[in-house]
Homo-oligomer: A and B are copies of this chain.
Amino acid sequence: MKKIGVGILGFGTVGAGVAYGLLCNKTPLAERTGIEIELRKIADLDITSDRGVAVPKEILATDTMGVINDPQIDIIVELIGGTGIARKFVLAAIEAGKPVVTANKKLLAEHGAEIYDLAAKKGVDVFFGASVGGGIPIIRALRDGLAANRIEAIHGILNGTCNYILTSMEKDGLAFDVALANAQKQGFAEADPTLDVDGFDTLHKAAILASIAYGINPDVKSLPVRGIRGVVEAEDIRYAADLGYRIKLLAIVKDTDGEIEIRVAPTLVPEDGMLASVNGVFNAALVKGDLSDETLYYGRGAGRMPTASTVIGDIADAARAIASGAGSRLAVPRTSRAVRMKAPGDIVSRHYVRLSLGDAAGSLAAAAGAFGNHGVSISAALQKGDPGKTGYATVIVLTHLAKQADIDAALDEISNLPCCGAAPRRLGIED
């Protein structure tokens, strides 16, 4: 049986998980791949702290460049994180002609072009399966299993923190702040939750999925993003439930005749669909291909062992390529079509709108008129709650498909109506 040597850079949470998996599951890995995949070195500045995983002392090293250039090491696994030394070491590994496995979303987002270019020049593969969806082999599914398809749409629940918060707002009727505090107590949210709850983590992942699906390098900073903080309130979750929907923070990636849409938004999804059943910290991606139709991938989007599972899946892929005498096996997708990003105002969607309208004759008509003025057609309007105390009634409006710019204009007009109380709030609907 051929032997392939692995070196891990970074002995943190995921690094220790990968070490555990490589050591403990060596036998099933060898049975499936026909290769003995050997963990030969782990490099970290700190090799004395207890990582909760028993590894032979002699494989621990502090000289990272020594590990990269060690002739016994065939595959480099970068789990340092960040974009400083991680970038340097990844480039050095590629320069040394060694395939790289990484879970570093930020590194790919900021230095992907540089890394892919060097990898192509050197004929080396770069694997990044764990950068989206943790333990779910979604990147591999898009790259390999669905390779035959034109990808029409991806709808992803890709941030466990947000999904945990939304699920507990829904199941326990909690306000956002309380649900966030609970998530922080449970270790499912950071002390500074901005990257998660404001949607940026999901957006980075959406961009990676779009890059595989469409062979593009989207500029993340220019993409529309809405998170759940200050956007989704407990009453929206209740009203949505009354209408047969649940609210999820979605990564939405679509291709409409070469117009690519990549965005993140809290969105109503039908309660009897698969995405509605994805609860708590679990993630999922629903992918619509022109041949496959809908397929869905579900699992744990984070965590030491699930992430390690996907990292080791990538290591196995790299090992199979080396053992079979292959050079670079994976092309970095590059589109040859004339694609362009859809302007945010042109994005078409159904909408859920929550209005606060003075409880007087004619106020609903005025609001409906504002929608009509901008070509937005209404599929349902329902009064909720008791206007008695405040003098304002809550009215939920569901629209048919409409352009973002038209919805915005209609809501702007409604905001300026004399009968309008609190500013209108809107969420998308993806049926």
Contact between A149 and B309 (Cβ–Cβ < 8 Å)? yes
Interface on chain A toward B: helix, strand, loop, or mixed SS? mixed
Contact between A291 and B277 (Cβ–Cβ < 8 Å)? no
Which residues 297-335 of A have a CB within 8 angstroms of B? 297-300, 303, 305-306, 308-313, 315-317, 320-321, 324-331, 333-335
In the complex the two chains form, what is the Cα distance from A31 to B332 in whole Å? 8
Contacts of A316 in B (CB 8 A): 144, 147-148
Contacts of A22 in B (CB 8 A): 148
In the complex the two chains form, what is the Cα distance from A240 to B273 in whole Å? 21
**If the complex has contacts A29-B147, A32-B215, A308-B148, are A295 and B326 also in contact, measured as CB distance less than 8 A?**
no
Stretch at the interface among A43-51, A133-141, A404-412: A133-141
Q: Encode A314-358 as 1/0 by CB contact (under 8 A) with B.
A: 011100110011111111011111000000000000000000000
Contact between A295 and B136 (Cβ–Cβ < 8 Å)? yes
**If the complex has contacts A296-B298, A298-B296, are A141 and B137 also in contact, measured as CB distance less than 8 A?**
yes
Contact between A137 and B144 (Cβ–Cβ < 8 Å)? yes
Contact between A292 and B298 (Cβ–Cβ < 8 Å)? no
Q: Is A369 an interface position by the 8 A CB rule?
A: no
Q: Is A293 an interface position by the 8 A CB rule?
A: yes
Contact between B330 and A320 (Cβ–Cβ < 8 Å)? yes
In the complex the two chains form, what is the Cα distance from A296 to B312 in whole Å? 19
Contact between B137 and A309 (Cβ–Cβ < 8 Å)? no
Contacts of A335 in B (CB 8 A): 31
Q: Is A58 an interface position by the 8 A CB rule?
A: no
In the complex the two chains form, what is the Cα distance from A383 to B25 in whole Å? 48
Of B129, B299, B331, B337, which contacts A33 at CB under 8 A? B331
What residue of chain B has the Cβ atom nearest to residue A320's Cβ?
B329
Contacts of A212 in B (CB 8 A): 32
In the complex the two chains form, what is the Cα distance from A291 to B16 in whole Å? 12
Contacts of A34 in B (CB 8 A): 331
Contact between A25 and B326 (Cβ–Cβ < 8 Å)? no
Contacts of A327 in B (CB 8 A): 324-325
Q: Is A422 an interface position by the 8 A CB rule?
A: no
In the complex the two chains form, what is the Cα distance from A333 to B28 in whole Å? 9
In the complex the two chains form, what is the Cα distance from A215 to B27 in whole Å? 11
Which residues 256-305 of A have a CB within 8 angstroms of B? 272-274, 276-279, 284, 289-300, 303, 305
Contact between B277 and A313 (Cβ–Cβ < 8 Å)? no
Q: Is A111 an interface position by the 8 A CB rule?
A: no
Contact between B148 and A137 (Cβ–Cβ < 8 Å)? no
In the complex the two chains form, what is the Cα distance from A141 to B290 in whole Å? 21
Q: Encode A85-110 as 1/0 by CB contact (under 8 A) with B.
A: 00000000000000000000000000
Contact between A143 and B324 (Cβ–Cβ < 8 Å)? no
Q: Is A185 an interface position by the 8 A CB rule?
A: no
Contact between A298 and B300 (Cβ–Cβ < 8 Å)? no
Q: Is A150 an interface position by the 8 A CB rule?
A: yes
In the complex the two chains form, what is the Cα distance from A295 to B307 in whole Å? 12
Contact between A297 and B296 (Cβ–Cβ < 8 Å)? yes
Other A-B contacts than A33-B147, A144-B316, A289-B309, 5 sampled, CB-CB below 8 A, are: A28-B149, A33-B331, A129-B145, A135-B289, A141-B145
State the A residues within 8 Å of B (CB): 17, 21-22, 25, 27-35, 129, 135-137, 140-141, 143-150, 212, 215, 272-274, 276-279, 284, 289-300, 303, 305-306, 308-313, 315-317, 320-321, 324-331, 333-337
Subset of 5 A-B contacts with CB under 8 Å: A137-B144, A141-B141, A144-B317, A274-B274, A292-B305
